[in-house]
Amino acid sequence: MKFSYYPGCSLDGSGIEYGMSMERTARILGFELEELEDWNCCGATSGHNTDQLLSLALPARNLAIAEKTGMSMMTPCAACYSRHRHAEHVIQHDPEMKKKIEQVLETELQGTSETVSILDILANKIGTEAIAAKVTNPLTTMKAACYYGCLLVRPVEHTGFDDAEDPQTMDKVMKALGADAIEWSHKTECCGAAMVTSRPDVGNPMLYRVLKDAKESGAECIVTACPLCMLNLDMRQAKIEKQFKEKLDLPVYYVTELLAIACGDDPKTVGIEKHFVEAGKYLQIVKVRAAEAKAAAEKAAAEAAAKAKEKAAAAKDKAAAGKTKAPEKAKSEGDIAEPDPKKVEAFKTALTKNPAKMAAKLVADEAQAGILVSILDEKRIGKLADLMATDMELAKTAAAAFVTEELKRQGECQD
């Protein structure tokens, strides 16, 4: 898998950690990035605040170069992604403006270039199962608020790779890394963008509301895929704490940083020490908690297996002594009555929307429940929903088996 790569102006400057971790992510997952030759700034906010034709011609020039490569163009920055996707849409749907752009650029545009987001690549082109297979240091017990901001998934006619109100691509990637992606209401709200500089009276309250909602929703960190969002959430967090007289203490990470770390990279390799809010300490806390959770889950699984063995032995002894009736034939999946479709769908919805709550019903041990949440995918959710609709005990057995299988996989990865 190979992409034309448009790094934009920030990945060697204010978003250098994004650039470092983007390259590591590509190497880890095995896709190639070929930097676009002679690329120019997309214009960002300045372009479309100055002149419409300029705001379109700047990204269109990059698209014209990308057309010659025959590859999709991957653009990490959310603002760059938005400007290029907007230019694509205009070129494809506005013949009059397309002609003006061609006159300015003195080149013909085919309209065949496609700009793709890193989230689209990770979740939809590579897939979370392939990502999970690369994880050696799972981020178990990390409570992350996945922050998409206002440009990655909107407007939907320009983007279209995720839901505009409740996007899930980053959430799915974080779950594949072992983290708990919390539910929160501000995942697509604006962080204030450049307004925190030009109009701090407007921008700062916007930024505060994003940080506050993440904190109140149970997040211990924020994950983003936008350099400007990162700059505001990370660099300006101390100022927001001072202005609103509230300690937030939320480390902020690029999704690519956490992917590289979960797949074995040292945090310094991807620039964690460059963050303004202390970010390394929380990673150490997660590492310790993950080890404790794994040990507790292994102990609970061993105890459950021992109890089951004792119970089976006792039942065998009673049967041999004639003290009990012939045991009732154990239920198998084939013996289970056809589940009620309405109940199955209800359980699927519950497992998808409230995974932590449902996992607690299936697995008594808190650590094991956390592991179950981190590995729930469409296939496992479907299996558990079917069983829960017919026999809750069998559902609990299946859940325990999923956890045991994941613990075994993690042990093999670390070995």
DSSP string, 371-383: HHHHH--HHHHHH
Residue bearing tokens 């109940």: 343
Is 19 in the same domain as 74?
yes
Question: How many domains is the chain partitioned into structurally?
Answer: 3
Residue appearing with tokens 């509230």: 246
**The 73-74 sheet, strands edge to edge:** 32-35, 2-5, 73-74, 115-116
Domain region containing 26: 2-116
Report if residue 324 sits inside a domain. Answer: no
In degrees to the nearest 10, what's the CA dihedral of 304, 305, 309, 315? 40
Q: Is 225 inside any structural domain?
A: yes
Assigned domain for 128 exists: no
Indicate if 107 and 228 belong to the same structural domain. no
* Six-digit token string for 85: 């996707």
Indicate which CATH number applies to the domain containing 150: 3.40.50.11810
Rounded Cα distance between 405 and 374, Å, is 13
| Statement to judge: residues 242 and 346 lie in one domain | no
For the chain, how are helix, strand and coil distributed in percent, rounded to 5?
60, 5, 35
* Euclidean distance between CA atoms 129 and 125, whole angstroms: 11
pLDDT in tens, the chain (415 residues): 999 999 999 998 899 999 999 999 999 999 999 999 999 999 988 777 889 999 999 999 999 999 999 999 999 999 999 999 999 999 999 999 999 999 999 999 999 999 999 999 999 999 999 999 999 999 999 999 999 999 999 998 888 899 999 999 999 999 999 999 999 999 999 999 999 999 999 999 999 999 999 999 999 999 999 999 999 999 999 999 999 999 999 999 999 999 999 999 999 999 999 999 999 999 999 999 999 988 888 888 888 888 888 888 887 777 777 655 544 444 444 444 678 888 888 888 888 888 888 888 898 888 888 888 888 898 999 989 889 888 888 889 888 888 888 887 777 666 5
Task: Say yes or no: 140 and 112 in one domain.
Answer: no
Residues 219, 152 share a domain: yes
What are the two backbone dihedrals, phi and then psi, of residue 146, each rounded to the nearest 5 degrees? -80, 115
Query: Is 63 part of a structural domain of the chain?
Result: yes
Determine, yes or no, domain membership for 29. yes
101 lies in the same domain as 185: no
CB 307 within 8 A of CB 265: no
Q: Based on the domain organization, do 18 and 85 belong to the same domain? A: yes
What pTM did the predictor assign? 0.78
Q: Which of 258, 283, 368, 254 shows the shortest CA–CA distance to 16? A: 254
| Residue 73 contacts residue 117 (beta carbons within 8 Å) | no
